[in-house]
Structure 1
């Protein structure tokens, strides 16, 4: 098989049909397969998928739920020359799969190809900040990159060489972890100047979303990646390239300074809060986004510490799953 597309999802009933249909259209010229890897949805996500010509599998143990587990669940059920993974709130842009396969066929030293991610929902503060950051981040520009955030098409041979696609222990940063493992083995990743996916993230209050990411473990992803790399060939790459680690160190130093200032100099303590919020507000273009960034940086530091000490299981251990048969089309 030339190409297989996996879509990982959790409670994406309002978006999953569009995601699946975009994937089906993309693989049709190649006779490829589309698979939904569901992490235990309680809505109609699975039922909707079962009425389409796709493979549907679901995580058997919901306690194993994580971003990394969802991605690995899709990978372990598919076999093709190339593998593409997207989220259930994304749709593939026509032409991206064709362009990425042509690039990979012409460049055998490249392990994966990504394209441009188009953010469609900018209601929440997090996605407003992310959309603005995309214009500045080096790994979002066309050319060789150190990660493929937002999904991509990967050479299956390269993935097998590094043992597994996604670390099932990771609650976020699974794409960064994969990139670090691949590049440490000499593989290259490239982003091409072609629209790849449209992303429609969660809407609603940004602080509620931030609290969810913290309590669900997603904020601990950077710490989990760091711990997983200890003693491995890609440890140095993780330390150098994962900016969240440096941010967490800065925030930890800020916490210590704040405690000392509260004890000795309350005026200095006030400045230690006001100055970073003001600076972030200036950088983000609004005080509201600056305050949100300040809260997010602190949440990242808390999450990183928790992720460093979270229990791990071998990332190569297969995930137990349940397969579903196809339902007849809805009347």
Structure 2
């Protein structure tokens, strides 16, 4: 089989029909397949998916639910020579798979290729910042990149050489972690000048999103990535390129300075320590509102770095238990 599009989903009844329809249309020219990997939806996600000519697999143990487990469940059920992972709130562009497959076949040293990501919801703090990042970060521009955030088309053989698609322990950063393992083995990643997906994302306020990330374990993902890299060949890449680790360590040092200033009671130093990061981030983000949100997010991420690093792990190469609900 030429290509598999895997869709990971949890309670995505609002968007899942659009995601499935786009995926089925995308694989049709190749005789490919679509696999819906559900992590235990309690809404109408499965009912809606039953209408489409797709395979449906569900995580057997809901306690294992996380972003990495959903992605890995989709991959371990795939049969295609190439694999694209789609979230349940994404729509794949019909022209991307032909362009992506042609690029990979012409460039045998490239393990994966992505395209342009169009963010459709930019009301919240987080997605305003992400939209600005998409517009300015080199990893979102065409060319050789060091990660494929929001998805890409992967050579199945390269992923298997690297061990697994997504570390089943991760609550986020699956694409970065996979890219690090691939690059540590000499593979390249690229982004081409072709539309790939429309991403709708969350519409909630940024602070509510931060709270959701704390409750779901998402905020601990940088620590999980770092812990998983200990003793492996991709550790130097993680230390060099995962900004959340560097930022988290910087915030911890800032906490230490605040404690010292408070304990020795230097009010002006304490005030400067509070104002300087806020003013810097406000200048960088273009507004005081986004600067304050960034400062809050950095503190949440630093706390998560510690929590995630010490979180209990399951061997990432252990297959996930799955229930097949429907064959295509």
Instruction: Find the aligned partners of 1:281 and 1:239 in 2 and give their Cα distance.
Output: 26
Instruction: Find the aligned partners of 1:295 and 1:230 in 2 and give their Cα distance.
Output: 28
Hey, what does 2:296 align to over in structure 1?
295
Instruction: Find the aligned partners of 2:54 and 2:267 in 1 and give their Cα distance.
Output: 61
Instruction: Give the CA deviation at 1:204.
Output: 1.6
Instruction: Give the CA deviation at 1:266.
Output: 2.0
Instruction: Give the CA deviation at 1:116.
Output: 1.0
Hey, what does 2:94 align to over in structure 1?
94
Instruction: Find the aligned partners of 1:63 and 1:267 in 2 and give their Cα distance.
Output: 48
Question: Do the aligned residues in 2 keep the contact of 1:184 with 1:233 (CA within 8 Å)?
Answer: yes
Hey, what does 1:45 align to over in structure 2?
45
Instruction: Output aligned runs, 1:211-222, within 5 Å.
Output: 211-222=211-222
What's the secondary structure of 2:12's corresponding residue? coil
Hey, what does 1:59 align to over in structure 2?
59
Instruction: Give the CA deviation at 1:325.
Output: 3.0
Instruction: Give the CA deviation at 1:136.
Output: 2.4
Hey, what does 2:284 align to over in structure 1?
283
What's the secondary structure of 2:136's corresponding residue? coil
Question: Do the aligned residues in 1 keep the contact of 2:57 with 2:326 (CA within 8 Å)?
Answer: no
Instruction: Find the aligned partners of 1:50 and 1:274 in 2 and give their Cα distance.
Output: 54
Instruction: Give the CA deviation at 1:156.
Output: 0.8
Hey, what does 2:309 align to over in structure 1?
308
Question: Do the aligned residues in 1 keep the contact of 2:54 with 2:326 (CA within 8 Å)?
Answer: no
Hey, what does 1:122 align to over in structure 2?
122
Instruction: Find the aligned partners of 1:186 and 1:49 in 2 and give their Cα distance.
Output: 38
Instruction: Find the aligned partners of 2:80 and 2:205 in 1 and give their Cα distance.
Output: 40
Instruction: Find the aligned partners of 2:310 and 2:71 in 1 and give their Cα distance.
Output: 22
Instruction: Find the aligned partners of 1:53 and 1:271 in 2 and give their Cα distance.
Output: 60
Distance 1:326 1:179, change over 3 A: closer
What's the secondary structure of 1:252's corresponding residue? helix
Instruction: Give the CA deviation at 1:135.
Output: 2.1
Instruction: Output aligned runs, 1:247-262, within 5 Å.
Output: 247-262=247-262
Hey, what does 1:80 align to over in structure 2?
80
Instruction: Find the aligned partners of 2:123 and 2:276 in 1 and give their Cα distance.
Output: 26
What's the secondary structure of 1:183's corresponding residue? helix
Instruction: Find the aligned partners of 1:228 and 1:270 in 2 and give their Cα distance.
Output: 38
Report Cα offsets for 1:253-297 as digits up to 9, x if no partner.
000011111122122212211221122112111111111000000
Instruction: Give the CA deviation at 1:219.
Output: 1.0
What's the secondary structure of 1:135's corresponding residue? helix
Hey, what does 1:155 align to over in structure 2?
155
Instruction: Find the aligned partners of 1:59 and 1:105 in 2 and give their Cα distance.
Output: 33
Instruction: Output aligned runs, 1:28-39, within 5 Å.
Output: 28-39=28-39
Unaligned runs of 5+ in 2: none
Instruction: Output aligned runs, 1:233-248, within 5 Å.
Output: 233-248=233-248
Instruction: Give the CA deviation at 1:326.
Output: 6.8
Instruction: Output aligned runs, 1:172-183, within 5 Å.
Output: 172-183=172-183
Question: Do the aligned residues in 2 keep the contact of 1:85 with 1:153 (CA within 8 Å)?
Answer: yes
Give RMSD over aligned pairs.
1.1
Distance 1:324 1:130, change over 3 A: same
Question: Do the aligned residues in 2 keep the contact of 1:50 with 1:324 (CA within 8 Å)?
Answer: no
TM-score by length of 1: 0.97
Instruction: Find the aligned partners of 1:184 and 1:273 in 2 and give their Cα distance.
Output: 39
Instruction: Give the CA deviation at 1:33.
Output: 0.3
What's the secondary structure of 1:288's corresponding residue? helix
Instruction: Find the aligned partners of 1:205 and 1:131 in 2 and give their Cα distance.
Output: 15
For these two proteins, the number of residue pairs brought into alignment is 327
Hey, what does 1:171 align to over in structure 2?
171
